[in-house]
Amino acid sequence: MDSRDTPSLRIALAQTDHVPATDQDSLVALRKAAQDAASGGAGLVIFPELFWCGYGDEGTTRRLALVQTKAASMFGKVAAETGTALLVGYSEVVGDGYYNAAMLVDAQGQMVLNYRKMHLWGSYESALFLPGAPSPIVEIWPGLRAGVLICFDLDFPAPAQDLAQRGAALILVPSATNYPYGIVPGAVVPARAYENAAFLAFCNHAGSASGNRFIGASTLAAPDGSILASACGDASELVFGTVAPQDFARYRQEHHYAPLLRQDVFRPVTAPPGQVR
């Protein structure tokens, strides 16, 4: 199946000011957003970075951390109930260590991807989390392959380029971008989409928490850098947009710049072994 035959995927970006105290708080918020997204016809709902535990408070981040199997069970149950795939940011605990993670479960409730953030931002993240490895590439929709980055990962061109070179036509980015970094959704998101001729879905926090004032501005960008959907501001909002690969099939075919890079001058980005699924 090529991109001309790929059905469109309606995506919901769950920009939320969710600040949880318990796992139950997060489960209720997750289910409500997934139900609303399903009612709006979404096949995939993306939640912000560390949605499950909230962003910025070390104690809550540790207390609401989940082992991967428990996260898969809880997220998968909501996905199966609503018939929507979910990408959920959470704090993953492995032994004595923690990762800033995002898990993708399909509409049947099965985990298909678990990504751990590679580039850690600031003292809160650096003191708490271990760095992860590049995202697997998975078929998220018939004929549509995707990979994941988290927030600060997107500030570097190489991680997005790596995903695109390994076959991702859609890059999913949970985020906790705060003021004064409006340049990220305003410029970096469409630039990364354009550079890689890929769709890019950026879902950010809203409101304030733990001294952070989040900018919201969740955005879905097209392979030509145009904006397909965006939040109105920095308040809670469920943003809907459609990824239609057939509309950009010719554009993507004619705008692959990576093979033209002077590899005798610049080191090429290569796929890490064992990362392609």
Q: How many domains does the chain divide into?
A: 1
Residue 153 included in any domain: yes
**CB 206 within 8 Å of CB 176:** no
Query: What pLDDT tens digit does each residue of the chain (277 aa) get?
Result: 444 566 899 999 999 999 999 999 999 999 999 999 999 999 999 999 999 999 999 999 999 999 999 999 999 999 999 999 999 999 999 999 999 999 999 999 999 999 999 999 999 999 999 999 999 999 999 999 999 999 999 999 999 999 999 999 999 999 999 999 999 999 999 999 999 999 999 999 999 999 999 999 999 999 999 999 999 999 999 999 999 999 999 999 888 776 777 888 987 555 554 444 3
pTM attached to this predicted model: 0.93
Closest CA to 104 of 82, 130, 79: 79
Would you please indicate which residues are annotated as catalytic (active-site) residues?
49, 117, 151
Task: Indicate the SS3 state at residue 83.
Answer: coil
Backbone angles phi, psi at 75, to 5 degrees: -65, -40
Residue 270 included in any domain: no
Number of H helices, E strands in the chain: 8, 14
Domain with 20 in it: 9-260
**CB 242 within 8 Å of CB 11:** yes
Q: What's the CA dihedral at 157, 124, 148, 250 to 10 degrees?
A: -40
Residue 53 included in any domain: yes
Helix (H) or strand (E) holding 36: helix 23-39
Residue 277 included in any domain: no
In angstroms, rounded to a whole number, what is the distance separating the alpha carbons of residues 171 and 194?
Answer: 12
Task: Indicate the SS3 state at residue 186.
Answer: helix
**CB 30 within 8 Å of CB 78:** yes
CATH of the domain at 244: 3.60.110.10
In angstroms, rounded to a whole number, what is the distance separating the alpha carbons of residues 176 and 181?
Answer: 10
